[in-house]
Amino acid sequence: LGASHYARGFHATGTIGTFGAAAAAASLLGLDAERSAHALGLAAAQAAGLKSMFGTMAKPLHAGKAAMNGLMAAQLAARGFTADTEAIEGFQGFAWTQADDAAAIAAVRTDGGFAIEQTLFKYHAACYLTHATIEAIRELRRLHAIDLDALESLEIFVPPGHLSVCDIPDPRTGLNLKFSIRQLALLALDGFDSAALNLYTDEAALNPRATSARIRVRVTPSDRVQPYAAAVTLKTRDGRTLTAASDVGVPSTDPAAQWSRLCEKARAITAPSLGMSGSDRLVAWVEGLANSPTVNSLM
């Protein structure tokens, strides 16, 4: 679909995610090529998601609906339900209606490794475009042992497109907070755990220390910053100028460190419901997934 699909305002998790779910379900159901094509056609008829929903409950609904609709598409196709088998690339199909610059591309080559090996993971429970800023702030905290009390000013350099996605200047709710790069930067600087779901509350959005400091934060668009990157320049009250940069568009090259970060996030999310022992059991089960004959014990 090219970049125009997202630029128009479509949320790819909801739209493209529906095709991914349909393809996965068709594979798991063992559908042949014809019925798989019908499943993708049925997915095209249901794929939806709008960036205008960011900061509301509807945004995560996109992910759930993509999974639900993709599964339903495959189940219907398995029972003989039909659709246009050229619904993605055909005239008045999905690409034709949803993108300006859609073009046929070659099939993914797997002789150099599977594409899934390049998957990017969300270590923070906020909009992915805020993650590079959070990572850069975490690096400053680690290297210089500073917190919000040290802040004189902060400038965040991001790609121009970030401003229309995750730059809510005055977040009022926990859902707004997920798309407020300024507030998240300040909370990260103050040591809050951005992986934990319980951070994203109305109280955190209105956190008085961060809110009062926002006047000293500037978000600057820059064409020189990579699509998933950010650079920060922080001036301290004692006269230092500290800089850091991060690019979360680059897959991790350290699987052990990545696993540690994912476990940290998993425990932050699941422990409040399962308890720490239950969370640890869940992590251990996933770690042993490759050697487990069934998923019954997980269920």
Q: What is the pLDDT of residues 72-112, one digit of tens each?
A: 999 999 999 999 999 999 999 999 999 987 777 677 677 77
What pLDDT is recorded for position 156?
98
User: Contact at 8 Å (CB) between 45 and 83?
Assistant: yes
* Closest by CA position to 121, among listed 258, 11, 297: 258
**Mean pLDDT score, 241-249:** 97
Give me the torsion for CA of 211, 215, 220, 225, rounded to 10°. -40
**Mean pLDDT score, 228-239:** 97
How confident is residue 268, by pLDDT bands cut at 50, 70 and 90? confident
Instruction: Please determine, for residue 215, whether its predicted confidence score (pLDDT) is greater than 90.
Output: yes
Instruction: Report which of residues 152 and 268 the model is more confident about.
Output: 152
